[in-house]
């Protein structure tokens, strides 16, 4: 009898610390089916539901979400989930902060690890800032890896930069990938896929006057800035670190959460528009974000760029999940 070809069932994912859905969009583009999103922020949940109306959402504190309830909401049993994804809040590890080892914001990864232990997914993905592997914080990173491995996984972390994955933004993040030990497969990360992409090639077609006006303070510094420079270079007290004039021939610097003087356009004295922010983060222009420009900066600044997560998800699908089936 001729061999009957059966289409592969979509791999499954649950996204914790889901935000507005940057990671979710990446998994969707890679052909995954999202069973559940976990998020506590009201604006992020509203935005997520606008763009992923068919994905169930647990709107609340992850610390109060048991593995049993998670499986009930997702319609799965222990060990059935393909990927558990999570980007625990990382301000305590950030190089922009004070980086205190015992910062309470650094403890949420333990809730994520608890769900790994209770759900036993085949693979987990955990994203965080590079500050967690620098200086004294490297001890925290080693403790995180140890905790994750004790859940029964081979775990490996690697620094990836979004600008090599079809994202016109230089955004370095530590991506920790774990594979359940019984699968007998080593964790792996995607290789770089593209050369750095200039912001001008992506946003130059947009309305030049479409973004928010500069503040009175920022108006003083914008004319002084060369491409890629921060206004902190000229401020007498080194303030306005986040106010950077884009270099049109290079990727954007990392988009941060909302601040009073964020990234500026390269040719017009204004801040970036909502559409420009979405494009630079590799969101489609049609992606809906609820609220003000400040909400938009928050949502995008906290998101994993979808195209970067797409590359990570495709690598997991091809080099881990499909390999485990063939064994």
**Spatial separation of the C-alpha atoms in residues 320 and 314, rounded to whole Å:** 10
**Spatial separation of the C-alpha atoms in residues 219 and 109, rounded to whole Å:** 41
Task: Find tokens 């859940």 and name the residue.
Answer: 151
108, 112, 117, 121: CA torsion to nearest 10: -170
**Considering only CA atoms, which of 160, 239, 163 is closest in space to residue 195?**
163
**Considering only CA atoms, which of 145, 61, 154, 149 is closest in space to residue 111?**
61
Phi then psi for residue 9, to 5 deg, are -65, 140
Give bridge partners of residue 83 from the DSSP assignment: 13, 123
Query: Which residues have a Cβ under 8 Å from the Cβ of 180 and sit 6 or more positions away?
Result: 120, 121, 122, 123, 152, 153
Which DSSP state fits 245?
B
90 labelled catalytic: yes
Which DSSP state fits 102?
T
**Spatial separation of the C-alpha atoms in residues 280 and 167, rounded to whole Å:** 7
The active-site residue, picked from 90, 151, 259, 264, is: 90
Q: DSSP 3-state assignment of 137?
A: helix
Handedness of CA 317, 318, 319, 320 (dihedral sign): positive
Total Cβ atoms within 10 A of residue 117: 15
What are the catalytic residues?
Answer: 90
């Amino acid at each position: 009898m001729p061999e009957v070809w059966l289409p592969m069932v979509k791999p499954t994912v649950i996204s914790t610390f889901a935000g507005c859905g940057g990671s979710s969009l990446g998994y969707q583009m890679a052909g995954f089916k999202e069973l559940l999103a976990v998020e506590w922020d009201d604006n992020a949940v509203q935005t997520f539901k606008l763009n992923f109306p068919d994905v169930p959402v647990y709107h609340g504190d992850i610390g109060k979400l048991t593995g049993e309830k998670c499986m009930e909401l997702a319609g799965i049993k222990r060990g059935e989930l393909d990927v558990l994804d999570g980007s625990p809040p990382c301000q305590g590890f950030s190089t922009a902060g004070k980086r205190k080892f015992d910062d309470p914001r650094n403890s949420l990864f333990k809730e994520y690890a608890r769900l790994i232990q209770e759900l036993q997914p085949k693979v987990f993905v955990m994203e965080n800032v590079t500050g967690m592997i620098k200086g004294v914080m490297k001890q925290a990173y080693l403790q995180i890896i140890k905790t994750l491995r004790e859940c029964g996984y081979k775990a490996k972390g690697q620094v990836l930069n979004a600008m090599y994955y079809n994202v016109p933004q230089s955004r370095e993040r530590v991506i920790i990938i774990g594979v359940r030990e019984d699968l007998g497969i080593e964790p792996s990360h995607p290789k770089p896929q593209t050369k750095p992409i200039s912001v001008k090639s992506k946003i130059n077609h947009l309305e030049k006057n479409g973004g928010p006006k500069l503040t009175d303070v920022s108006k003083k510094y914008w004319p002084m800035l060369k491409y890629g420079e921060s206004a902190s270079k000229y401020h007498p007290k080194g303030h306005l670190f986040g106010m950077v004039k884009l270099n049109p021939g290079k990727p954007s610097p990392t988009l941060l959460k909302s601040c009073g003087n964020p990234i500026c356009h390269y040719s017009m004295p204004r801040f970036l528009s909502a559409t420009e922010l979405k494009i630079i983060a590799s969101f489609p222009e049609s992606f809906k974000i609820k609220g003000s420009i400040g909400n938009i900066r928050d949502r995008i600044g906290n998101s994993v760029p979808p195209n970067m997560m797409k590359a990570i998800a495709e690598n997991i699908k091809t080099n881990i999940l499909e390999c485990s089936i063939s064994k």
